[in-house]
Amino acid sequence: MRALAITTVKNEGAFLLEWLAHHRAVGFTDFLVFSNDCSDGTDAMLDRLETLGWLTHVPNPGPWEEGPQWAALKQADHHPLKKAADWVAVLDVDEFVTIKTGDGTLSALFEAAPQATAFALTWRLFGNCGVVGFEDRPVTAQFTRCAPPDMLWPWRASIFKTLFANDGAYGKLGVHRPRAPQDDKLAGTLWVDGSGRKLPALYQRQKLFTPPGSAPYELVQLNHYPLGAMQSYVVKCDRGRSNRQAEPFDMSYWVERNFCTDEETAIRRYDAPAGEIRSELMADVELARLHDQSVAWRRARFDALMQDEPYRALFGRLLLCPPSRPLPREAAAQIVAMGLRARQG
């Protein structure tokens, strides 16, 4: 069974080895990684990892009509790794597949829901919880508090990425779900949520969220670490978004994701296997040098940004802002209802 993870990166070298080691421990066999405009040596790290046989690196220089991520996915649609894969997931480097059933591998997930052809991996939003300084240690160990499992709003708490069987039912890759459904093959698809529950037929063609408040995390969840330390978030804002070149990160992005009410430690089951893989990677002298170089770049970049008033102001606002408070269920339900009425009207 070949399982392919596809990602796009820019200046993510400090986090790359953790992400790669984790998903190798989960059971992904192949990695197709696109890079663009790297200043921290991420592209050199990827070249080294390709030489060592860990992944396939495809440089993705601009300009792009829809941003680097969409340009990468168009290339990935025709790549031999994608064509050879049995299962595919498009993931970001701040997203970690966390399987709670069996031994925590993809094989255990498929055994738990053997009829499924697409798993909607709902985000579990992990907040910043007041961490200021960037540290060179696993993100998954630093940030252990997250949103409650049944939060109705903001809607991003219910958004998902898709792990899907590469059986020809969809003609194109998408950021959150496969696109271009093939009518003659859809009847054989079965979409399930992270608890293995069958999703309505509409999910075969559209939808980006699992039903709000449904807590779809019994078998698998997608641990999402969109914020990190405050210093890293400032550097992330400088980088910009991968799927829309013009849309910036800002305080609204921060507030809608900085939930820290629940302790969530399911990902700890990967500490030993992922740690062994990270150690193996860092045993390569050149790869270790490149990792350390990217860490130094990240620290220097934050210091440089602090010479700019807009970034100093952003950093100050992050320091001022407490973790976000989940809305009372009645208030959240009102907002959801308003949104439904607006779409219907």
Cβ distance 335 to 341 under 8 Å? no
Going by C-alpha positions, the residue among 175, 172, 171, 205 that lies closest to residue 187 is 205
How high is the pLDDT of residue 200?
Answer: 96
Does residue 196 register a pLDDT over 90?
A: yes
Question: How confident is residue 247, by pLDDT bands cut at 50, 70 and 90?
Answer: very low
How high is the pLDDT of residue 139?
Answer: 98
How high is the pLDDT of residue 246?
Answer: 41
Mean pLDDT computed over 162-171: 98
**Sign of the dihedral through C-alpha 339, 151, 105, 79:** positive
How high is the pLDDT of residue 249?
Answer: 65
How high is the pLDDT of residue 144?
Answer: 98
Does residue 245 register a pLDDT over 50?
A: no
Question: How confident is residue 145, by pLDDT bands cut at 50, 70 and 90?
Answer: very high
204: helix, coil or strand?
helix
At 306-338, the pLDDT tens digits run 999 999 999 999 999 999 999 999 999 999 899
Helices assigned H by DSSP within the chain:
13-26, 42-51, 68-76, 80-84, 106-112, 139-142, 230-239, 251-255, 271-282, 285-305, 309-320, 329-344
Q: Which residues, 6 or more positions from 75, have their beta carbon under 8 angstroms from its beta carbon?
A: 34, 58, 60
153: helix, coil or strand?
coil
The full set of domain ranges for the chain reads 94-344
Q: Which residue has the higher pLDDT, 45 or 214?
A: 45
Mean pLDDT computed over 154-170: 96
Question: How confident is residue 212, by pLDDT bands cut at 50, 70 and 90?
Answer: confident
Question: How confident is residue 66, by pLDDT bands cut at 50, 70 and 90?
Answer: confident
Does residue 35 register a pLDDT over 90?
A: yes
By CB atoms closer than 10 A (0-12, 13-18, 19+), residue 307 is exposed
Mean pLDDT computed over 160-180: 98
How high is the pLDDT of residue 120?
Answer: 98
- Tell me the C-alpha distance between 98 and 301, whole Å: 31
Structure tokens at 12: 């993510």
Distances from the Cα of 196 to the Cα of 166, 238, 244, angstroms: 19, 39, 32
Mean pLDDT computed over 118-137: 98
Mean pLDDT computed over 216-231: 98
**Is the link from the previous residue into 212 a cis peptide, with omega within 30 of 0?**
no
At 274-307, the pLDDT tens digits run 999 999 999 999 999 999 999 999 999 999 999 9
Structure tokens at 288: 């270790």
